[in-house]
Chain A
Amino acid sequence: MMLADEIREKRQERDILLMTHIVVGYPSFDDSLRVVEQMVAAGVDLMELQIPFSEPIADGPVILRANQQALMAGSTVERCLVFAEEVNRRFDIPFLLMTYYNILFKYGVSDFTGRMAAAGIAGSIVPDLPPEEAKDYLEAMGRNALEPIFIFSPNTRDERMRVIAKHAGGFVYCVARKGVTGAETSFSDEFAAYLARCRAATDLPLALGFGVKSRSDVDFLRGQVDIAVIGTETLRVLDEHGVDGVRGFIEGLR
């Protein structure tokens, strides 16, 4: 089934879906696996697996540090792909890869997407790859029936949103605000107007990320978007309470 349809189907059962994020190999591969277990047990609907990169320019300090520590602890692209394959085999939710374009480019975009497809990954989010630069990527993703997740931001004009939506698959990732991952977001009226613009630009499901960290944030998003993305906050929970704190945190969100 296409990812968008899968999301729509799940939305019949739940009024909002949760997508979480991990940096693969942080703090170790064993811990990453246990975190995925906990998240799936807590009822997470989709997961982003971030392959660490040395220059993650769109990420804030928490995820940046996790990228660096994962690399120092020996996380390689190959190990991340093997990990992705394993979790996809063991857990019955859609997994996405999130990383920066150089990881795909260095591996070879065609080979990388082939590996993704073989691992059963649903699609990918590449924040430094706007559609204008994505010709090779889009062709390769299409060939492998993978969903290219693209991003809307509050300062993306309506016309550009429609162009992005044309290339997008699965869902559109709406960034809640300016800035990097992990900072405060104020969910205001202006924000509602932005979501309305996102909604008007595409029929694909919408995910909302950047700054979603509590049950009240998730409650606010019910009925407005299809997926709430919990990124940085789960890393904070992991850092403060260890792997065992993750499940309770996720369960408390919905």
Chain B
Amino acid sequence: MTDRGYFGEFGGSFIPEILVATFEELVQAYEDARSDPSFWSQFVSLMGSYSCRPTPLTYAENLTKHFGGARIFVKREDLNHTGAHKVNNVMGQGLLVQRMGKGRVIAETGAGQHGVATATMAAKFGFSCTVYMGEVDVERQRPNVFWMERLGAEVVTVKEGTRILKDAINEAFRDWVTNMDDTHYVLGTACGPHPFPEMVSWLQSIIGQEARVQVLEASGRLPTRVYACVGGGSNAMGLFGGFFDDDVELVGVEAGGRGLDSSAHASRLASADATRGVAQGYKTFFLQDRDGQMRETHSVAAGLDYVGVSPILANLRETGRVRFEAATDAEVVEALALTMRKEGLIPALESAHAFVQAFKEAPELSSDDVILINQSGRGDKDIFTIADAFDDPGWKAFICEKARHYDAR
């Protein structure tokens, strides 16, 4: 193994010896697929027939008028099957699993989107599937557990550690070191040991490839700025992937939670709170204490509260190619409300972080400018979380009534 997937000083492959052979096999399968043009065309054709690709680009005319600055376009990853960009990576890895001849997939999930996407892929390809999900996430995203189980996956509730995404990742690794012979670990974001950051970014780059063509067609020019939310970083890497060679400013928006000075946030690149570390198999910026113990994070969006971040994005911050900002929970709820009323679009709470920053900057740009926002997922399927975020009294009354019905039976 000569290329261990370094991006500047970040990345690498810090794995237990027992997994080395498995990673060698995966690196080989990934490199073969990447150098075989038929893999990508098979992938594009699968996504066209199964997941509404290419996803549309929507001109947000009312929001544009509202802010009176740059023309705002939205890339509609929410219209993918299963409701988020996650399915791009998952279906691509599903094709790789077929190539490797394995019959079982495992995945971690935070918000549940990646778990649902993996369960969906496993159903379609005929793999058995186990999804690890932290107990805290199981509680706040119960509907996704319902769907994963209905799709035939086993959902394992992780009660160790802080009981969120990072703990689910640890459990998935523990399963993998035991069952690697017939099992592939479908890591859900552009993090983890090599080749995952690079491989997931490559599969997600389908977003940026489409978006670049679409925005040129729709507006006659390249965007001035492009916005994506950043949890692990896969939707951002996917969208940015279409514009790295262009004179386009790339903006990643992290979870500001209750504010960057509150310590209740998940901003690894936009705040000064994160430091370099090595965990979960790779080197990046982590929210950790002086000793290197991972800290608790907070975000209104379960998909953004991860302690680490893509090593590729960490490097792009160091080189200055990508600018990082943070959006607070309160700003996110406000941006979501505005987007729904003005455009009839319902971005996921995660995606709404990108909208916040775009809304802050749109007025200072001119009508000649074009900005592009990645709506990485749809919010309507997270009705429980979003209703809570809005503290909606009618919804609460409905749930109480519903519970009374169940109790009465």
Asked whether A106 lies within 8 Å of B177 as measured between CB atoms, the reply is no
Q: A57-B174, A133-B4 are in contact. Are A127 and B292 (CB under 8 A)?
A: no
Query: A151 — which chain B residues lie within 8 A by C-beta?
Result: 16-17
The reply to whether the CB of A202 lies closer than 8 angstroms to some CB of chain B is no
Residue of B nearest to A101 (CB): B278
What does the 1/0 interface line of B156-171 toward A look like (CB < 8 Å)?
Answer: 0000110000100010
Asked whether A178 lies within 8 Å of B13 as measured between CB atoms, the reply is no
Chain A interfacial residues counted at CB < 8 A: 42
Q: A65-B160, A103-B292, A132-B1 are in contact. Are A153 and B17 (CB under 8 A)?
A: yes
Residue of B nearest to A150 (CB): B17
Complex Cα distance, B177 from A56, in Å, reads 13
Taking a contact as CB atoms closer than 8 A, the residue among B12, B21, B166, B177 that contacts A180 in the complex is: B177
The reply to whether the CB of B18 lies closer than 8 angstroms to some CB of chain A is yes
The reply to whether the CB of B291 lies closer than 8 angstroms to some CB of chain A is yes
Chain B interfacial residues counted at CB < 8 A: 36
Taking a contact as CB atoms closer than 8 A, the residue among B160, B277, B294 that contacts A61 in the complex is: B160
Asked whether A77 lies within 8 Å of B14 as measured between CB atoms, the reply is no
Complex Cα distance, B22 from A58, in Å, reads 15
Q: A100-B279, A178-B177 are in contact. Are A58 and B291 (CB under 8 A)?
A: no
The reply to whether the CB of B178 lies closer than 8 angstroms to some CB of chain A is yes
Chain A, 56-87, CB within 8 A of any chain B CB: 56-58, 60-61, 64-65, 68, 71, 76-77
Q: Which residue, of B15, B166, B288, has the highest number of chain A Cβ atoms within 10 A?
A: B15
Interface of B is mostly: mixed
Asked whether A105 lies within 8 Å of B20 as measured between CB atoms, the reply is no
Taking a contact as CB atoms closer than 8 A, the residue among A105, A129, A179 that contacts B292 in the complex is: A105
The reply to whether the CB of A216 lies closer than 8 angstroms to some CB of chain B is no
The reply to whether the CB of B290 lies closer than 8 angstroms to some CB of chain A is yes
Query: B288 — which chain A residues lie within 8 A by C-beta?
Result: 102, 106
Query: A130 — which chain B residues lie within 8 A by C-beta?
Result: 13-15, 17, 20
Residue of B nearest to A77 (CB): B291
Stretch from A14-22, A29-37, A38-46, A155-163 that touches the partner: A155-163
Asked whether B16 lies within 8 Å of A58 as measured between CB atoms, the reply is yes
What does the 1/0 interface line of B1-34 toward A look like (CB < 8 Å)?
Answer: 1001000000011111110111000000000000
Asked whether A57 lies within 8 Å of B178 as measured between CB atoms, the reply is no
Asked whether B178 lies within 8 Å of A178 as measured between CB atoms, the reply is yes
Q: How far is the CB of B166 from chain A (nearest CB, A)?
A: 7
Complex Cα distance, B280 from A243, in Å, reads 33
Complex Cα distance, B293 from A160, in Å, reads 31
Chain B, 162-195, CB within 8 A of any chain A CB: 166, 170, 173-174, 177-180
The reply to whether the CB of B242 lies closer than 8 angstroms to some CB of chain A is no
What does the 1/0 interface line of B284-297 toward A look like (CB < 8 Å)?
Answer: 00101011111000
The reply to whether the CB of B281 lies closer than 8 angstroms to some CB of chain A is yes
Residue of B nearest to A126 (CB): B14
Complex Cα distance, B21 from A132, in Å, reads 14
Residue of B nearest to A127 (CB): B16
Q: Which residue, of B160, B177, B280, has the highest number of chain A Cβ atoms within 10 A?
A: B177
Q: How far is the CB of B177 from chain A (nearest CB, A)?
A: 6
Complex Cα distance, B286 from A151, in Å, reads 27
Query: A56 — which chain B residues lie within 8 A by C-beta?
Result: 170
The reply to whether the CB of A186 lies closer than 8 angstroms to some CB of chain B is no
Complex Cα distance, B293 from A68, in Å, reads 10
Asked whether A180 lies within 8 Å of B174 as measured between CB atoms, the reply is yes
Q: Number of residue pairs across A and B with beta carbons under 8 Å?
A: 109
Q: How far is the CB of A52 from chain B (nearest CB, A)?
A: 8
Residue of A nearest to B21 (CB): A155
What does the 1/0 interface line of B342-385 toward A look like (CB < 8 Å)?
Answer: 00000000000000000000000000000000000000000000
Asked whether B292 lies within 8 Å of A156 as measured between CB atoms, the reply is no
What does the 1/0 interface line of B320-351 toward A look like (CB < 8 Å)?
Answer: 00000000000000000000000000000000
Q: How far is the CB of B38 from chain A (nearest CB, A)?
A: 30
Q: How far is the CB of A63 from chain B (nearest CB, A)?
A: 11
Chain A, 106-155, CB within 8 A of any chain B CB: 106-107, 127-130, 132-133, 150-155
What does the 1/0 interface line of A153-177 toward B look like (CB < 8 Å)?
Answer: 1111100100010000000000100
Query: B178 — which chain A residues lie within 8 A by C-beta?
Result: 178-180, 183
The reply to whether the CB of A53 lies closer than 8 angstroms to some CB of chain B is yes
Asked whether A107 lies within 8 Å of B292 as measured between CB atoms, the reply is yes
Q: A65-B160, A179-B177 are in contact. Are A57 and B16 (CB under 8 A)?
A: yes
Asked whether A76 lies within 8 Å of B291 as measured between CB atoms, the reply is yes
Query: A178 — which chain B residues lie within 8 A by C-beta?
Result: 18, 177-180
Query: B17 — which chain A residues lie within 8 A by C-beta?
Result: 127, 130, 150-153, 156, 164, 175
Query: A61 — which chain B residues lie within 8 A by C-beta?
Result: 160
Complex Cα distance, B291 from A130, in Å, reads 21
Q: 15 A-B Cβ contacts within 8 A?
A: A57-B16, A61-B160, A64-B161, A68-B160, A102-B278, A105-B292, A106-B288, A107-B291, A107-B292, A130-B20, A133-B12, A133-B14, A152-B17, A178-B178, A179-B174
Closest 4 CB pairs of A and B: A106-B292, A179-B178, A153-B18, A102-B292
Interface positions of A (Cβ within 8 A of B): 53-58, 60-61, 64-65, 68, 71, 76-77, 100-103, 105-107, 127-130, 132-133, 150-157, 160, 164, 175, 178-180, 183
Interface positions of B (Cβ within 8 A of A): 1, 4, 12-18, 20-22, 160-161, 166, 170, 173-174, 177-180, 275-281, 286, 288, 290-294
19 additional contacts, CB 8 Å, given A77-B292, A155-B20, A179-B178? Answer: A54-B293, A55-B166, A57-B16, A57-B170, A57-B174, A102-B278, A102-B279, A127-B17, A128-B14, A128-B281, A130-B13, A130-B14, A130-B17, A132-B4, A133-B14, A155-B22, A156-B17, A179-B18, A179-B177
